[in-house]
Structure 1
Amino acid sequence: MLVRVLIASGLCLAGINLAAVSSFVVSLTAVVLLAFVEPLFLRLWGTTPGKALLGMRLTGPDGKNVPYTEGLARYFLMMWYGQGFEIPVWSLIQGYRSVRRCWDDEPQPWDVEVAYIAKPFRARYGVGLVLATLLVLTAGEAANSWSQTPPNRGDVTVAEFAENYNRQADYLGFGGRTYLDETGQWQEEPGNPNAVTVGDFGIEPWPEARELHFTLEDGHITAITLTGTIENVEEGVDTPNGLVPRIVMSLAWGREEASFWSLARQAQMTELERRDWSKDFVIHQPGVVITSDIQQSGLSYHANSFCDWHAEQPENALSFTYTVALDNG
C-alpha cells in the first residue's frame, strides 16, 4: 500500500490525473518497484516497514540479514505463489492456496530458507500500524488534492484565470479542443481535418451565450458573468450553465477560503450539478457566490440544461444571467 500510494502521489505531483491511469499500470509499477525495494530493506535492516510496525524481523538460518539476491528470489516466489503476480483470477487462486497452507501449518514456498523473529505482540504494534496507514493515506490524499489546485492562486488577472482554466481543463479532462486565450476569449485548437468532432459547448446557434464577461478591480477579477437572450426558438437550445462549475474551480480553488481537500471540492461540484438551473438561486460556497437569474416563457427545462420548444406555443423567450462572484466576507 505504501508503494502504491507513493506511485499515485508521484503521478499527481507530476500533473498526471489518476483517473486517466489504469489501476493495472499502477499495480504493475508497484510490483516492479518492490522487486528492488523489498530485498534492499531485508538486506540492510532485516525488516520492511510493515514488519517493523508489528515487531518482526526476517533473517537467514544463520541469523544474519538475507542477502540481496536471496531476498530478490524470495520476492518473486512470494509474488508467484502468494499473489499470482496480480493476474486476475489466478491471484485469487494462489491467495487461497496460501491460506490453506497456513491452516495446515505448512511453510510458504518463499519462506523455506528464512527465519522470522517476532517480539511478543503488543497493542502498540496494532495502534502503530493503524496510525501509519492513516498517515500514508492522508499524505496520498494531500498530494491528490494539491494536484487539483490551479497554478495561479489568490486574486487573479484575466490572463491568469485563462491559464487556470486551461490547466484545469487539461488535468481534469474537459473542454475538448476549446481553450481560453490570455484575453479571456474562446479559441479552438485545429483538429484532424478528417475527423468528425462534437463541440463541447453547443456553440451554434448561440455562441455569444458562452462569452465570459469579467468584472475587474485593480486589474483583478471580482466576478465572471455569462448572459444571453433569445426569442422564438424553433428547436431546443443549450444554456452554458455547465461552464459555471468550471469557472468556480478555476477562479476559487486557488483562494485561501477554498477547501484544500478534494472530497470537499467534489461536494462543492455536486451541489452545483444538482441545482435546478431553470430557476433563480443564490449559492454561497467557500470564497464565491454563484447566482442564477432566469426569465423564460414557452420553454421547458430538462436535467441536461436543455430548453425544449413547446409546439403548441410557438412564441417563446429565454433570458439568463449566471454570475460567479468572489465572496471576501
Structure 2
Amino acid sequence: MTIKEIEDLSGMTRANIRFYESQGLLTPARDTNGYRNYTEKDLETLTRIRLLRTLHLSLDDIRAAGNGEKDFEDLLLKHLRYLKEEQNGLIQCQKVCEQMCRDHAAYDTFDAQYYLDMMDMPQGSAPPELEKDTVPKVTAPWRRFFAREIDLTLYSLLWSAFLTLVIGVNIGDSFSLDTSVTFLILSTVGSLFITNLIVLLVEPLFLTFTGTTPGKFCFGLKVAALGGKRLPYREALRRTWDVLWKGYGFHIPVYWLVRMYRSYKACTNEEILYWEEDSVLSLNKGRLPLGICAAIALLPFSLILEDTLNQYAAIPDNTGDLTVEEFCENFNDTQEFFGIERQLNLPPSITSGLAGIPDSALYLDGQAKWTKKPGTPYINQNGDYAPLPEFQFTEENGIITGIRFSYSVENENVRISSYGEVMALAAVSYICAQDSYSIQPDTPEEIFSRIREHGDYFEDFSFADAGISVECDFNYEGYDLVFDSYGSAVLEPVYGEDARFSAEFSMSAR
C-alpha cells in the first residue's frame, strides 16, 4: 500500500504516520526505488495505536507493550486505575462547580478555601494544572556561559580602548622580573574592580533598552520582566549585580570557579537561579549557529583589535611639524610607553633580574639634554660605558627637518652598550608623528623592533617611512661583541689592540 492508501484506511494523517515511524512504533518495508510499501500488518499496527491513543495510553506504554517489555494486560489494569482516579477527580470538580453556581459565587468575593475543603484531596497535594503553571525555565548552561564570555570580552575591549586611546597605556607591556609582588597584587585587584565596574555600567543599559546583550543576542537569549516587558534599569542593575556576585563571584580567583560550578549544577537541575527571581529568560534555538560562529571569531578579532588599539596608543601626542621641545616630549612619552626604566647607555643585565641594581630612565629636557628625574635612583657609571649621545637638530623656522647624533671613541677602555633603543625611540617619536604616517604597513612597535634589532647588533641600516629617511653607520675594530645573559650586546675593547668605534645616526625629511 502507498502512503495515501494507508491514510485512507487507517483514518490517520500523513503527519501522524510519519511521527509513529520516527518513534519506532511502525517500520514499513521499502521497495527497490526506496519508497515505503505498507502492508496489512502495518495497517493493523496503526489501528491498534489509534485505539490505544484514544484510550489515553502514553506512547512509552504502547512501545513497551509492542516490544514485549511490559505485559499488555498489566498496562491496561494500571491505566484503568488511572482513568478511575481521573474520573473521580472530574466528578468532584463537577460537584464543586455546581455548588458554586447554586451559591451564585462572584470572583471578587467567593471563599476559595471553603470550596477547596469540599474536594477530597490529600493534604499538601496540588492539581496537575499547577505543575504546568510555571514560568518557562531555560537551562542551556553552555549557551549562557559562552554568551557571557562574549559579553565580558567585549566589555574588556571597551576598557582597552579607554586605556589606549584616552590614557595612552601600553596594554601589551608585560611585567618584568623585578616587578614587586605588591604591585602585582594591586594590579590584579584593580583589574578585578574595573572588570566588575564595566559590567555593572554597561550590561544594565543593554538589558533595559534592548532586552539582551551582544553575547545573548548571538545565542538567541533574551531577558524580560515577569510581565513580558523589558526590565526597568533598577531591576536590570540588580540582576547584573546578582550575576556578578552569585554567578561569577566578582571574578575573584578560585572563588570564581566555585560560584561557576554551583551555578552550572543549579542550571542543569533546572533550578531558578538567584538572579532569575524577577526576570524571565527566553531562548531562540535557531541562533545557535550564529553564537558558535561569534564565539569562534571573537578571540582572533579581540586580539587583532587590542593590538591595533595598542599601535594607536604608541603614536606620540605631538604630531605634524615638530619643534625640538615637542620632539623631546614625544621621546619621553615613548620611553615610558615601551616601559624602559633605565639609562639607555647601560645594558639591561645591570638593572634587570631579581638581583638587579636600581636604576631609572634619563629624560630629555626642552633643549634635548639628558636629565635625571628628581627622587629616583640612578647607577653611577664611572666612565665604564660610553655616554648617551647628544641629539643635534636641523631646523627651519623653528620646525625640525632633521635629527642626528654621532659618537666616536679611540683607544679608551670604554665598553659600548647598544644604541638600539635610543635610535628606536627617536624614530618612533619622529616618524610616527608625521601627518602622512599610517600604522599600516609599519606599526610603531614594528618600527621600534626593527631599528632596535639592528642597533643591538651594531649593524648598518637604512629605513624610510612617512617621508622620513633613517640611516645608521657603525664602524669599529679592536672590540669583541659580547652577549650578556639577557640577550643584549656589548662591545668590549680587546686587550692589547687599538680600539676604535664610531656611530652615525640620522633622520631627515625626503
TM-score bin, normalised by smaller chain: 0.7 to 0.9
Q: State whether residues 166 and 179 of structure 1, in contact with CA within 8 Å, keep that contact through their aligned partners in structure 2.
A: yes
Letter of the 1:191 counterpart = G
**1:81–1:239: structure 2 CA closer, same or farther, 3 Å change rule?**
closer
Tell me the SS of whatever aligns to 1:210: coil
> 1:111 maps to what in 2?
276
Say whether 1:197 aligns with 2:363. no
Deviates more, 1:85-94 or 1:67-76: 67-76
Say whether 1:315 aligns with 2:498. yes
Tell me the SS of whatever aligns to 2:454: coil
> 1:62 maps to what in 2?
227
> 2:490 maps to what in 1?
306
2-side partners of 1:253 and 1:230: how far apart? Answer: 32
Say whether 1:281 aligns with 2:460. yes
**1:104–1:203: structure 2 CA closer, same or farther, 3 Å change rule?**
farther
Instruction: State the Cα distance separating 1:148 from its structure 2 match.
Output: 1.9
1:167-206 alignment to 2 at 5 Å?
Answer: 167-174=333-340, 176=360, 178-191=362-375, 196-198=377-379, 204=383
Q: State whether residues 282 and 289 of structure 1, in contact with CA within 8 Å, keep that contact through their aligned partners in structure 2.
A: no
Letter of the 1:65 counterpart = R
**1:141–1:280: structure 2 CA closer, same or farther, 3 Å change rule?**
closer
Q: State whether residues 13 and 147 of structure 1, in contact with CA within 8 Å, keep that contact through their aligned partners in structure 2.
A: yes
**1:46–1:263: structure 2 CA closer, same or farther, 3 Å change rule?**
farther
**1:100–1:211: structure 2 CA closer, same or farther, 3 Å change rule?**
same
TM-score (norm 1): 0.79
1-side partners of 2:416 and 2:296: how far apart? Answer: 54
**1:220–1:16: structure 2 CA closer, same or farther, 3 Å change rule?**
closer
Q: 1:52 aligns with which of 193, 205, 217?
A: 217
Letter of the 2:477 counterpart = S
Q: 1:83 aligns with which of 225, 243, 248?
A: 248
**1:139–1:23: structure 2 CA closer, same or farther, 3 Å change rule?**
farther
Letter of the 1:237 counterpart = I
**1:183–1:207: structure 2 CA closer, same or farther, 3 Å change rule?**
farther
Instruction: State the Cα distance separating 1:106 from its structure 2 match.
Output: 4.1
1-side partners of 2:452 and 2:459: how far apart? Answer: 15
Say whether 1:249 aligns with 2:428. yes
Say whether 1:154 aligns with 2:338. no
Show CA shifts across 1:206-232 (max 9, x none): 776511122345543333222112122
**1:10–1:278: structure 2 CA closer, same or farther, 3 Å change rule?**
closer
Higher share in strand = 1
Show CA shifts across 1:268-316 (max 9, x none): 22222332655542232423443332222211123434211223x2532
Q: State whether residues 424 and 448 of structure 2, in contact with CA within 8 Å, keep that contact through their aligned partners in structure 1.
A: yes
Show CA shifts across 1:81-135 (max 9, x none): 3212111112123223333344444443322443222335245666678888888
Q: 1:229 aligns with which of 396, 402, 408?
A: 408
CA RMSD of aligned residues (A): 3.6
Deviates more, 1:177-186 or 1:139-148: 139-148
Deviates more, 1:292-301 or 1:252-261: 252-261
Gaps of at least 5 residues in structure 1 are none
**1:56–1:280: structure 2 CA closer, same or farther, 3 Å change rule?**
closer
Instruction: State the Cα distance separating 1:67 from its structure 2 match.
Output: 4.1
Q: 2:199 aligns with which of 17, 24, 34?
A: 34
2-side partners of 1:280 and 1:136: how far apart? Answer: 36
> 2:166 maps to what in 1?
14
Letter of the 2:479 counterpart = L
**1:299–1:254: structure 2 CA closer, same or farther, 3 Å change rule?**
same
1-side partners of 2:255 and 2:441: how far apart? Answer: 35
> 1:165 maps to what in 2?
331
1-side partners of 2:464 and 2:272: how far apart? Answer: 58
Alignment size in residue pairs = 321
1-side partners of 2:459 and 2:304: how far apart? Answer: 39
Instruction: State the Cα distance separating 1:29 from its structure 2 match.
Output: 1.6
Q: State whether residues 383 and 414 of structure 2, in contact with CA within 8 Å, keep that contact through their aligned partners in structure 1.
A: no
Q: State whether residues 234 and 314 of structure 1, in contact with CA within 8 Å, keep that contact through their aligned partners in structure 2.
A: no
Deviates more, 1:204-213 or 1:300-309: 204-213
Show CA shifts across 1:142-197 (max 9, x none): 543333211222342323312322332344443645322333333334336xxx42
Instruction: State the Cα distance separating 1:31 from its structure 2 match.
Output: 0.8
Tell me the SS of whatever aligns to 2:167: coil
**1:16–1:26: structure 2 CA closer, same or farther, 3 Å change rule?**
farther
TM-score (norm 2): 0.54
Deviates more, 1:84-93 or 1:211-220: 211-220
Q: State whether residues 420 and 453 of structure 2, in contact with CA within 8 Å, keep that contact through their aligned partners in structure 1.
A: no
**1:227–1:163: structure 2 CA closer, same or farther, 3 Å change rule?**
same
Q: Percent identity?
A: 23
| Greater relative CO (CA pairs within 8 A, separation 6+) | 1
2-side partners of 1:298 and 1:244: how far apart? Answer: 24
Letter of the 1:324 counterpart = M
2-side partners of 1:160 and 1:73: how far apart? Answer: 49
Letter of the 1:322 counterpart = F
> 2:83 maps to what in 1?
none
Q: State whether residues 266 and 272 of structure 2, in contact with CA within 8 Å, keep that contact through their aligned partners in structure 1.
A: yes
Q: 2:310 aligns with which of 109, 121, 144?
A: 144
1-side partners of 2:442 and 2:267: how far apart? Answer: 40
Tell me the SS of whatever aligns to 1:302: strand
Letter of the 1:52 counterpart = F
Instruction: State the Cα distance separating 1:249 from its structure 2 match.
Output: 0.9
**1:309–1:206: structure 2 CA closer, same or farther, 3 Å change rule?**
closer
> 1:294 maps to what in 2?
474
Q: State whether residues 324 and 367 of structure 2, in contact with CA within 8 Å, keep that contact through their aligned partners in structure 1.
A: yes
**Structure (1 or 2) with the larger CA radius of gyration:** 2
